[in-house]
Chain A
Amino acid sequence: MIQDILDEIRRGTTTVRGLSKKLKVEKSALEGMLRYMLRKGMIRELHPECRPKGCRGCPYKGKCDQMPVVGYELADDS
C-alpha cells in the first residue's frame, strides 16, 4: 500500500482525494498512511507560503507549526 502511494506520486502530481480513489483507500486511511510516511521521512509536508509582510495579520502568527498542510512531496531519497 505504502509502496503503491510512492509509485503513484512518482507517476505524477495528484491530490489526496485522487489518490484515495485510485488506490481504493478511504481518504482518512490514506491520511494515516501519509502520516506514517512523514514520520519515516519518505515524504515532506508542504505548508502555505508566508505572507509578504511577515507574521503581521497572519492567522497562524506564533503558531507556525499549526499551519495547514497544502500537500506532500517525495523526500530526496524516496
Chain B
Amino acid sequence: MTAKRSITVALAGNPNSGKTSIFNALTGAKQSVGNWPGVTVEKKEGRFNYQGHAVTVVDLPGTYALDAYTLDERVAREYLVTEKPDAVVAVVDASNLERNLYLVAQLLELGATVVVALNMVDIARSRGIDIDTVRLEKVLGVRVVTTVASKGMGIEALKRVVHDIDRKPPPRGTKIAYGRDIEAGIEQLVESIVATWPDREGQARWLALKLLEGDPEAEALVADDERGTVVTEVLEEVRRWLGRHLDVDLETAVVERRYGFLNGVARECTRRRPSLTRRLTVTDRIDSVVTNRWFGIPIFLLLMWGTFQLVFTVGAPLSGYIEQFFGWLGGAVSSLLASAQAPAWLVSMLVEGVIGGVGSVLVFVPNIVILFLVISLLEESGYMARAAFVMDRFMHLLGLHGKSFIPMIIGFGCNVPAIMATRTLESRKDRILTILVNPLMSCSARLPVYILFAGVFFARHRGLVVFSLYLLGIVLAVLVARLFKRLFFKSEAAPLIMEMPPYHLPTVRSILVHMWERAWLFVRKAGTIIALASVAIWLMASLPWGVEYASEASVIGRIGGVVAPLLKPAGFGYWWAAVSLTAGIVAKEIVVSTMGAIHGAGPEGLADVLSRTFTPLSAYAFMVMSLVYIPCIATIAAIKRETNWKWAGLAVGYTMVLGWVLAVAVYQVGSLFA
C-alpha cells in the first residue's frame, strides 16, 4: 500500500481522559480553533509532521459514547460518519479502563480504524493497576500505545503509529458478539442495509445496531430515504422477533451485552497489585468502619451521645454566665424602674414576665450553638450521608423508605424544614408517612426543656438522659411509621443507591455560617414569639387584678387547674406544668419560658421550684411528654400545607395521646421500681 502524503486523524475520548493534553502534545502550537458547523461547540484542529508527512489532527468533543443523546455526541458522531477520517485515536484513561472502553467499542462498531492511546498509565500504576497492552491489542484488535501526555511520554510512539496507519494498517477491530438472538437480527439488518446502500457496507453493522437500539438519528436516516422501506420492514420484523425472545427492551439488551463484553475485556487485560489496590483512600478507610454492617449504627449512636455530652460539658459554664447576666439585668431593671417610680405592674411585667421568660430560654443559646456546631461539622464533613446510609438499612428492616431518614435528621434542627424536605420523596404515601412521624424527632426547641430538667434531676448523667430522649424519638418514629404503614399505606419501601461524597475538612466559614443561622433563628424567636408569649402568660398570671401573681386563683392558674388532673397519673399534675405544656404548643421553647414567667425567678430559681415539686421519675415523664405531645403550631401548619387537614389532625391527635400514654407509662411503671 502506498503511503498518503497527508492523513487526517480524529482524536476521541471521554471527558478528563487527557485528550486535550494529547492534542497539545501532538500538535504543539500548530492549532486552529473554530466551531463545528451549525453549532457553538468548539472545534480544534492541529497539525504535525512526521518523517515528511503531514498529519492533521481533529479534536472531537469529549464524549462517553456515540449515542447522539448530547450535542457533543452528535457532533463527534456526525464527523466520524460523514468525514471518515483515516484513523481515530481513542484516548483512554488507564485508571478507568472499563468505562473508557465503551467509546472505543462504539468506534470499532462504526468501522473506524482505531488506535488506542492508553493515557495516564502512571496514575493507574500508582493505584496498583497494570494493563497488559499486548493482550488488550489482541482482544480489541487495535494498536495500543501507552502515554502519559502530561509528561510528553509515549507521544513519539503515538505519532509513529498514526503515521504508519497507511503502511501498516492496524488489525481489524474485534466485533462484539451480542449473543445468538441479537446477532441473528443484526445479520438480517446488515444484509438489507448493504443491499439498499452498497456504499454503506463499512458502517452497516453500526447502523444495524443503532437501529436496534432505537437511535432516533439512525431511524431518521432510513426513514428519509425512500429506498429505506425494505430496511424498515426488516427492522420491524427483527424487533418483533427479539421482543418475544428478550427479557428486557432491545436497547437495554444491546447496551447490557456491550458492557458485559467490556467488563470481560477489562478483567482479562488488567492485573491489580493487591499491595497497592488495597491501599485505601482516607475515605475508604473511614467508610470501612463507619458504614460497617455491625459498627455503623453503634458509631452513629456513639456520636450522638458524644454530641450531647459536649453540649452539656462545654455549654453549662457558658450558660451560667448568661444566667448571671439575666439575674443582674432583672435586678438592674427593677431598681431603675423603682427609682423612676414606675407602676408595680410594669416592673412585674418586665422583670417577671419578659426578663424571666425570655431569659429562661436564652440561657440555652450556648447549648444550641454547640449542638449546631457539631451537626454542621458532621454534615459538612460528609458523615451525615453515611449516617443516612447506616440507618437506611435499619429502616428498611422496618419497611420504611430509606430516604425518609434524611428529613428525620433535619428534624433534629427544626421539624418545619424537615417536613418541607420530604418533598424529595416521590411517593405520596412515603411522604405523608415521613411527615407524620417527623414531629417525633427531637427538634432544638425541645432542648431547653431537656437541659433544664436533666440538669436539675440527673446532673451526673444529664448527657445520657438527653441522648436517651433523642433515641426515644427515633425509635418512636420508626415504630409509629411501621404502625401507620400497616394501617394506611400498604406498599413496599424502595431501596436506593447512595452516592457517598468523599470526606473533607469543612471550612471554618461554612461551619460558622450554619451555626449562626441556627443560633440567630433561636435568638430571634426568643425576642419575638417567646417575648410576646411571656407577656401573655404574665398577663394571665396577673389577672384578675389584685390576685396573687401566678397563683391558682389567676386566670392561668384556673386554666391549668382544668388540665392538671389529666397529668396527675404522669406525676406532674401541677397547674403551672399543665399551662407550660399548653403554651408550648405555640413554640416548644415556651414550655420553659412559661415556667420562667410564672415563677418569675429565672432559671436558677426555676431549678429550686422544680426540685421541690418534681421527682427524677416525674421529671423524666415530663421530658417524654415534651418530646412527644402535640407539635408546635408552625409544624402543624407545615403538615397541613404539605398534606391536608386530615393528616395534620391525625398528627396532633396521635402525638397528644401517645405523649400522655408514654408519660403515664414512664411514671407508673417507674413507680413500681422506685
Contacts and interface: CB of A to CB of B under 8 A. Distances in A.
Given A71-B499, A72-B497, A46 B403 contact: yes
Given A16-B497, A34-B497, A74-B494, A40 B251 contact: yes
B98 A26 contact: yes
Interface string B379-414: 000000100010011001000001100110010001
Contacts of A50: 420-421
Contacts of A36: 255
A29 B248 contact: no
Contacts of A31: 99
A53 B298 CA distance: 32
Contacts of B102: 29, 32
Contacts, number: 131
Nearest to A72: B497
Contacts of B496: 9, 13-14, 46, 71-73
Interface string A54-69: 0001000000000011
Contacts of A74: 494-495
A26 B99 contact: yes
Interface residues on B, range: 35 or more
B225 interface: no
Interface string B413-455: 0101100110010110000000000000000000000000000
Nearest to B427: A76
B64 interface: yes
Contacts of B407: 49
B517 interface: yes
Nearest to B267: A24
Contacts of A1: 256, 259-260, 263
Contacts of A15: 291, 389, 497-500
Interface string A11-50: 1111111010000111011011111100110011011011
A7 B284 CA distance: 25
Contacts of A72: 496-497, 499
B251 A13 contact: no
Q: Which of B102, B392, B495 has the most CB of A within 10 A?
A: B495
Interface in B163-207: none
Contact of A52 (B247, B402, B417, B494): B417
B157 interface: no
Contact of B69 (A28, A39, A52): A39
A34 B495 CA distance: 15
Contacts of B410: 49, 52
A25 B316 CA distance: 52
A17 B500 CA distance: 8
